[in-house]
Amino acid sequence: MKLYFAPMEGITTYIYRNLHHKHYGGIEKYYAPFVSPGPDQGLSMKEAKDVLPEKNQGIPMIPQIMTNRSVDFIKACQVMQKFGYKEMNYNLGCPSGTVVSKKKGSGFLAHTEELNRFLEEVFNDPIVVNKEVEISVKTRAGTHSHEEWPRLMEIYNQYPMKELIIHPRIRQDFYKNTPSWECFAHAVEISKIPLVFNGDIFRVPEFLAFVEAFPQIDTIMLGRGIIRNPELAEQIQKLYDPQSGELSETAKANAVPDQFDRATFRAFHDDLIEAYTEYMYGEKPVLYKMKELWFYMMSMFPENEKLYKKIMKTNRLDEYRGYMDELL
Ligand SMILES: Cc1cc2nc3c(=O)[nH]c(=O)nc-3n(C[C@H](O)[C@H](O)[C@H](O)COP(=O)(O)O)c2cc1C
């Protein structure tokens, strides 16, 4: 199974990606959170920093671009090309209000004619036609309703995308409700593009349920599931028999959800603290970053609710470290 690490703005920073790659395996590609090029300024310094090749050495990383102007998209592709990247991902999923109101991310999905024109211009640009760069798309199933999905699939099917990554929620869902397997099944039925599924695969049992329903899919993108349990991709890969490449019945039967190696987790966690302390000024921003992670990681420690509250409250790094000693 090919597993991709989903882009998560503010969370999967280059620091997080590097350290995850150092401590854990199982991931084929790491997707960087979106850069949003403007007509004049192009990429901001902050955005460019996250994707600089020297910050991502040795990591199979795909940059992601979000815009609704093909000229800006192509310009950003050219910058990425100079950085050495060959594959770019296009964001049609971001549900944030400020993004959607500008007809970008999942807000662009409601404007099918403009979206179609955008894709036509991008896929007819010489750098794409000549295969200097390859484009994959990450999409939701619609802006307002799942009924938008068949038309969106019709549009996508016209273009030679490298992959179509589907997070089958609509924008209105944000991260609530459940991803629509019906929409994904429709895509499986008609797609000419290689498909990647993304959404709510948090643990091994959910993974197994998905592969049972969609045995023809060989690529899955995981986001919050890996933030929650950084070992998840490795655990999924261990379900496969290395010889046959098939899911091993014994491994399936023995799989314990939420199992993880505490020593590796501690080493990963301590490296994160150290790297963020070096990168950021003051204790508060470092703690803020760690608390964002604990929002997802804490459910791996269900018996420690009280400690979680203390972790979320503290403004002091020494106090935080004490809680970690207690927890880990
Ligand atoms: C805090 C946060 C930030 C995100 N940032 C991005 C982003 O920059 N680009 C993107 O395509 N998706 C982004 N996503 C969506 C994830 O990539 C992914 O599609 C979503 O979390 C569903 O997958 P999951 O259920 O495996 O987490 C973000 C999600 C969250 C929760």
Atom 3 in ligand 1: residue holding the nearest Cα: 8
Closest by Cα among 112, 121, 104 to 67? 104
Q: Considering the entire predicted model, what is its pTM?
A: 0.98
Shared domain for 294 and 201, answered yes or no, is no
pLDDT score of 255: 83
Return the percentage of the chain with pLDDT > 90, whole number.
92
pLDDT bin (cut points 50, 70, 90) of residue 138 is very high
pLDDT band at 39 (very low <50, low <70, confident <90, very high): confident
- Helix/strand/coil percent split, the chain, to 5: 50, 15, 35
Q: CB–CB of 221/197 below 8 Å?
A: yes
169 with 34, same domain: the answer is: yes
**pLDDT tens column, 51-103:** 999 999 999 999 999 999 999 999 999 999 999 999 999 999 999 999 999 99
Nearest Cα residue to atom 15 of ligand 1: 8
Among 210, 232, 254, the domain-final residue is 254
Residue owning the nearest CA to atom 14 of ligand 1: 8
292 and 200 within one domain: no
CATH code of residue 127 = 3.20.20.70
> How far, in Å, is the centroid of ligand 1 from the Cα of 253?
30
Same domain, 269 and 232: no
d(CA 144, ligand 1 centre) in Å: 18
Mean pLDDT confidence for 259-267: 94
Residues 175 and 319 in one domain: no
- Inter-residue contact 231 to 260 (CB < 8 Å): yes
Taking residues 212-224, report their average pLDDT: 98
Least confident of 40-54, 154-168, 173-187: 40-54
Over residues 234-247, the pLDDT tens digits come to 999 999 999 999 99
| Ligand 1 atom showing the smallest separation from residue 165 Cα | 19
Instruction: Encode 205-223: b = buried (16+ Cβ within 10 Å), e = exposed.
Output: eebbebbeebeebebbbbb
Provide mean pLDDT across the span 270-279.
97
Identify whether residues 151 and 20 lie together within a single domain: yes
Q: For residue 309, what are the domain limits?
A: 262-327
For ligand 1, what atom is nearest to the CA of residue 33? Answer: 8
Last residue of a domain, one of 254, 286, 310: 254
Do 309 and 181 lie in one domain? The reply is: no
Q: What is the mean pLDDT of residues 224-238?
A: 97
With the most atoms of ligand 1 within 8 angstroms of its CB, the residue from 167, 178, 180, 210 to mutate is 167
> Of 254, 273, 307, which residue sits at a domain end?
254
Instruction: For residues 196 and 283, state if they share a domain.
Output: no
- Total count of domains within the chain: 2
Ligand 1 midpoint to CA 7 (Å): 6
Ligand 1: which residues within 6 Å by Cβ?
Answer: 6-9, 11, 33-34, 64, 91, 93-94, 138, 167, 175, 198-201, 222-225
The model's confidence at residue 5, banded by pLDDT at 50, 70 and 90, is very high
